[in-house]
Structure 1
Amino acid sequence: MSVQLVLDSKSTLGEGPSWDSEKEVLYWVDIVGKKIHRYDPVQHENTTVELEQYPGTIQPREDGEVILALQNGFYFYNWMSETLEPITDPEKHLPGNRFNDGKCDPAGRFWAGTMNLEEQQDKGALYRLDTNLEVTEKLNGLSISNGIAWSPDHAYMYHIDTPTKQVMRYDFNMETGEITNPKTVVTIPDDQGSPDGMTIDEEGMLWIAHFGGAGVSRWDPEKGECLEFIDVPAANVTCCVFGGKDMNELYITTARKGMSDEDLEKYPEAGGLFKLKTKVRGLPSYPFKG
């Protein structure tokens, strides 16, 4: 399997992708560039909207809009009217933080985590925005809250706090949205960079983006075993999500942030959006149901 460049976007920090199964488009962001994107693979068109704050992630909403975790909290965005509607900001008292990665769970709740703008340790948290728009802190003391995924049977939630170089598994109560019994199921080797964003396939295997590791890996969380490592022509691989009509196309975001001229010479396509055709199908990006 080899990746192909979809968009040579040269994003400073491409991130937070999701696939809208209804519209068959990919949403993604450039955090540092303060941009949200909508990519139509059929038309090969990428629509960009510039914002006034850092976007961490963008996810579909059941009514056709999208939901965002921005620097200053949760927002709805309407592509037609080009309007942002604030929902809530659980960290108004922490101006040094911003939202980072997040996703909706199978019940349609939106989970997103925060981090310190200076990347100070233990300043972040993970929040759950329910469909009634009430927000609850679910984890705290995080440093860079990142990838999140749910098992195909909805029994587990997986979460990455990047500096730990681990994936934690939690028992997940689909009805209540509660998480319990944390357990380390994946540890990324030191020579493979740091785990960033993450997605999951229908076999329950985790696909993890390696920031500083120039690739995406596929892991069996039951055995803690790496099944495959796919090279990506970008040092800083940030996130990945399954999409396409058959859910067998892995879209991969990357970043140019922190790269030297020498690095950029080695990886000229860094910051681009890539795609990998996979032998397995991925699970969908669940829409927000609020």
Structure 2
Amino acid sequence: MTVNIDVLCDIKNHLGEGPLWDVEQQRLYWIDSKVGNIYRATADGRELRAWDVPGQIGSMALRRDGEGAVVSLDSGFHFLDLATGDTEFIVDPEPDRPVNRLNDGKVDRAGRFIVGSMHGTEDEASGRLYRLDPDLSVHVLDENIIVSNGPCWSPGGETFYFADSWSGEIWAYDYDLATGSVSNRRTFARIDADTIAAADGATVDSEGYLWSAHVFVGKIVRYAPDGTVDRVIDMPVQKVTSVMFGGANLDTLYVTSMAKRYKTRYPADGIQRGSIFAVTGLGVTGVPESRFGA
């Protein structure tokens, strides 16, 4: 079996993040976090379209009803009308934490949007993990986080995975699908402390294995359900940021990356920096992403 890594779209995203494959539309969405852009393309990178949102964007999820999305911005949660580009404010969960912004998020199997916040300069553990319910109420699930990243669930939804990128760990929680509550946080995997790697975006495949983008070292790591490393994919850029399975058969792994120079002590990338990559030939399939229930 041969693994192929191709550039899907070379658009030099400042901070590409949040790939989201929609099985209904057969389209790939992703964001450029720092500049407030959302992109959409076909599985092979055609029919590229973009939307602007009013501020930095951490993540997005499609809604069950109509052509719309819910987005996490630096000013809080908003609805986005994809037909008009208009946004509608929902709630700011952190009005008392102006340095923070909402970051990575995904929807659980019951239609709740789980999103973590982060400290704006990544220096303090002021972030929290939130749950936005379909009735638009907000609930705190965890706290004392520097940079929230990589939320995803086991195929059955009973285990929730999440990372504070600067903790050096990926965590697992017991997840109650009936209530959306988390418990029993434990270390699922540790990142190699001898490298500059940090756990960024993640997804789970249909076999229950976790795929994690290790930013700054250009690696996608597949973890077995017991947390051991099963496979490592070396990418052509160092600053890979997130992953998502998509395509007609959910067997293409889409990978986002960043074009910006993060800090001088971290590596710069070549001409393919900021691209969206399509990885094929992996021999596994993903799990369809849920839509927000409002």
- TM-score, normalized by length of structure 1? 0.95
1:252 aligns with 2:263: no
CA distance in structure 2 between the aligned counterparts of 1:47 and 1:69, rounded to whole angstroms:
20
1:32 aligns with 2:34: yes
Structure 1 position 284, deviation (Å): 1.4
Which residue of the partner structure matches residue 178 of structure 2?
175
SS in 1 for 2:4: coil
Alignment of 1:209-220 (within 5 A): 209-220=213-224
SS in 2 for 1:45: coil
2:102–2:116: 8 Å Cα contact kept in structure 1? Answer: yes
Which residue of the partner structure matches residue 267 of structure 1?
270
- TM-score, normalized by length of structure 2? 0.94
**Alignment equivalent of 1:121, drawn from 120, 124, 133:** 124
2:53–2:87: 8 Å Cα contact kept in structure 1? Answer: no
The one-letter code of the counterpart of 2:225 is P
Which residue of the partner structure matches residue 207 of structure 2?
203
Structure 1 position 134, deviation (Å): 0.5
The one-letter code of the counterpart of 2:291 is P
CA distance in structure 2 between the aligned counterparts of 1:130 and 1:50, rounded to whole angstroms:
25
* Fraction of identical pairs, as percent: 34
Structure 1 position 25, deviation (Å): 0.8
**Alignment equivalent of 1:287, drawn from 276, 288, 291:** 291
User: For this pair of structures, how many residues does the alignment match?
Assistant: 289
1:196–1:209: 8 Å Cα contact kept in structure 2? Answer: yes
Which residue of the partner structure matches residue 90 of structure 2?
87
Structure 1 position 192, deviation (Å): 6.0
SS in 1 for 2:166: helix
Structure 1 position 41, deviation (Å): 2.6
1:159 aligns with 2:142: no
Which residue of the partner structure matches residue 19 of structure 2?
17
Structure 1 position 35, deviation (Å): 0.9
Which residue of the partner structure matches residue 8 of structure 1?
10
Structure 1 position 232, deviation (Å): 1.2
SS in 2 for 1:163: helix
2:160–2:172: 8 Å Cα contact kept in structure 1? Answer: yes
Unpaired runs of 5+ residues, structure 2, are: none
Which deviations, in whole Å up to 9, do the C-alpha atoms of 1:228-266 show, x marking residues without a partner? 1111111111101111111111110000222589x9875
SS in 2 for 1:3: strand
2:8–2:44: 8 Å Cα contact kept in structure 1? Answer: no
CA distance in structure 1 between the aligned counterparts of 2:87 and 2:103, rounded to whole angstroms:
18
2:165–2:199: 8 Å Cα contact kept in structure 1? Answer: yes
Unpaired runs of 5+ residues, structure 1, are: none
CA distance in structure 1 between the aligned counterparts of 2:126 and 2:267, rounded to whole angstroms:
31
Change over 3 Å in CA distance of 1:250–1:43 after alignment to 2: closer
What's the RMSD between the two structures over aligned residues?
Answer: 1.8
Which residue of the partner structure matches residue 144 of structure 1?
147
**Alignment equivalent of 2:190, drawn from 180, 187, 192:** 187
